Amino acid sequence: MTAATEVWAIVVAVGVGTFCIRFSFIYLFEYLSEVPDGLERALRLVPAAVLSALVVPAVVVVDGSPALSLDNGRLLAAGAAAVVAWRTENILATIAVGMAVLLGLRLVV
Amino acid sequence: MSSRRASFLDGLRAVAPVLVGVVPFGLVAGAAAVGVGLSGLQAVGLSVVVFAGASQLAAIELLDAGAPVAVVVATALVINLRMLMYSASIAPYLRELSTRWRAGIAYLLTDQAYALSVTRFGADGTVRRRWYYLGVAAPLWVVWQLCTVAGVVVGARVPESLPLEFAVPLTFLALLLPAVTDRAGAVAAVVGGAGAVLGADLPLNLGLIAGAVAGVAAGVAVEAGGDR
């Protein structure tokens, strides 16, 4: 096991580095007199791209490879949740339905 | 303009269901840290100072494997590089705030805080951004720290059969659909998701960054084509 001072060095280094990553553009944008049009348009697309990049692998990839069959309960659960998300735009309802379907499938199968 | 209080409460309401998904990861972050021999104080220190679950778990794993300090630090930071995208994406909404406020916002920036806030800011010009953000981010911080402590003290005892961790992608799914408002956004989402699946084999969560960057590039290309 690593020595205590080394653990604390890691905690501090990762903490400071992570803060710098988080603060980077939030800080730098202060020095832009205005956000260039092209950049603003590109940045507006980030949420859709990032959210999808967070969701799709978490649903589709099982044990490191894409699983697009019905054996993958997460597919059905996410499908049902997507319908709820689309109809209600409600996070609580989306989570509740998605988890209920996944849990139900696990109990049935 | 909404009042500060109303915006803060709005944030609290938005984040409440999302907290469910944070619980299992917080417990694991605490339990795994002491599991590999970190002291309770070090485990909680990691959660307070770093406050980024995926990188914490990677650091813990590498510590256990006896990796050199530089490797542990570099790995954790690469995993957190995705937050560069979040920082750039949310920055235009925060320009009028003081440096101190923005520093605080940066410290609290997580996948969830980013996703909830940026989608709201994009859709609603009347919300008091800093107060809404605080309403979202502060509970995420508190729950993360409490769960880390609980994980240290009692271990991670979430029943295997209860898929709490699935609440995390479901949160992003709920936010994704309203975030797609036009054709360019749809293309960005489709390419972003497909790219992240193709990149799922990449180490250090880099598939997420690769997919998202490809998605934005595709969306920009579609927009440019549509202008002609």
Q: What is the 3-state secondary structure (H, E, C) of chain A?
A: CCCHHHHHHHHHHHHHHHHHHHHHHHHHHHHCCCCCHHHHHHHHCHHHHHHHHHHHHHHHEECCEECCCCCCHHHHHHHHHHHHHHHHCCHHHHHHHHHHHHHHHHHHC
* pLDDT value, residue B66: 84
Which pTM was predicted? 0.83
A58 and A96 in a common domain:
yes
Q: For residue B179, what pLDDT is reported?
A: 82
DSSP H or E run through B31? helix B19-35
Do B68 and B97 fall within a single domain? yes
Give a yes or no: residue B169 inside a domain: no
Tell me whether residue A95 is in a domain.
Answer: yes
Same domain, A21 and A65: no
Is there a domain that residue B104 lies in? yes
Question: Could A26 and B84 be called an inter-chain contact, meaning their C-beta atoms sit closer than 8 Å?
Answer: no
- Domain that residue B189 falls in: 180-228
Give yes or no: residues A19 and A56 share one domain. no
Same structural domain for residues B134 and B205?
A: no
pLDDT number for residue B116: 94
d(CA B67, CA B50): 19
Q: Do A51 and A103 lie in a common domain?
A: yes
Q: How far is B142 from chain A (nearest CA, A)?
A: 17
Exposed/middle/buried for A64, CB within 10 Å: 0-12, 13-18, 19+?
Answer: exposed
ipTM of the complex: 0.87
Asked if residue B225 and residue B140 are part of one domain, the reply reads: no
Question: Is residue B23 a part of any domain in this protein?
Answer: yes
Residues of chain B with pLDDT below 50 are: none
Convert the pLDDT of each residue in B136-160 to its tens digit: 999 999 999 999 999 899 876 666 6
Q: How far apart are CA A102 and CA B170, in angstroms?
A: 11
Chains A & B: contacts with CB separation below 8 Å: 288
pLDDT for residue A9: 95
Residue A7 belongs to what domain range? 1-33
> Is B206 a member of any domain?
yes
Give the pLDDT score at B57.
86
Tell whether B166 is covered by a domain: no
Alpha-carbon distance B159 to B152, whole Å? Answer: 17
Position B55, amino acid: S
Higher per-residue confidence, B101 vs A2: B101
Residue B170 domain-assigned?
A: no
pLDDT attached to residue B32: 83
Whether residue A104 is found in the same domain as residue A53: yes
Q: A10–B63: do the CB atoms touch at under 8 Å?
A: yes
Give yes or no: residues B103 and B203 share one domain: no
B20/A contact by beta carbon, under 8 A: yes
Residue B135: strand, helix, or coil: helix
Angle between helices B4-15 and B111-123 (to 10 degrees): 130
**Cβ neighbours of residue B209 under 8 Å, at least 6 residues apart?**
B81, B82, B85
Contact B207 A6 (CB under 8 A): no
| A24/A75 same-domain check | no
Residue A38 lies in a domain: no
What is the predicted pLDDT for the residue at B138?
97
Q: Examine the domain organization and report whether B121 and B187 are in the same domain.
A: no
CA distances from B166 to A25, A40, A57, B20, B108 (A): 30, 32, 12, 10, 22
Assigned token pair, B55: 């990188």
Let me know whether A63 and A28 are in one domain.
no
* One domain for residues B29 and B77: yes
User: Does a structural domain hold residue A41?
Assistant: no
pLDDT at A1 over 80: no
Number of domains making up chain B: 2
A96 CB neighbours in chain B (<8 A) are 17
Residue B122 contacts A, CB cutoff 8 Å: yes
Say whether both B214 and B106 belong to one domain.
Answer: no
Separation of alpha carbons A67 and A64, rounded Å: 9
- My answer on whether A51 and A104 are in the same domain is yes
Q: Are residues A28 and A52 in the same domain?
A: no
Quote the pLDDT of residue B42: 95
B171 lies in a domain? no
Average pLDDT over residues A63-80: 85
User: Are residue B50 and residue B144 in the same domain, yes or no?
Assistant: yes
Same domain, B20 and B91: yes
In a domain, A61, yes or no: yes
Chain B residues in contact with A6 by the CB 8 A cut-off are: 69
| A40 part of a folded domain | no
pLDDT surpasses 80 at A109: no
Q: Which residues of A touch B120 (CB under 8 A)?
A: none
Q: Is B190 on the interface with A (CB under 8 A)?
A: yes
* Over residues A37-55, mean pLDDT: 86
Q: Are A18 and B55 in contact (CB under 8 A)?
A: yes
Q: With CA atoms as reference, report the closest residue to B162 among B1, B65, B58, B20.
A: B20
Domain count for chain A: 2
Residue A27 belongs to a domain: yes
Residue B228: per-residue pLDDT: 52
Sign for the CA dihedral angle at A94, A98, A99, A100 comes to positive
Structure confidence at residue B4 (pLDDT): 92
Same domain, B102 and B185: no
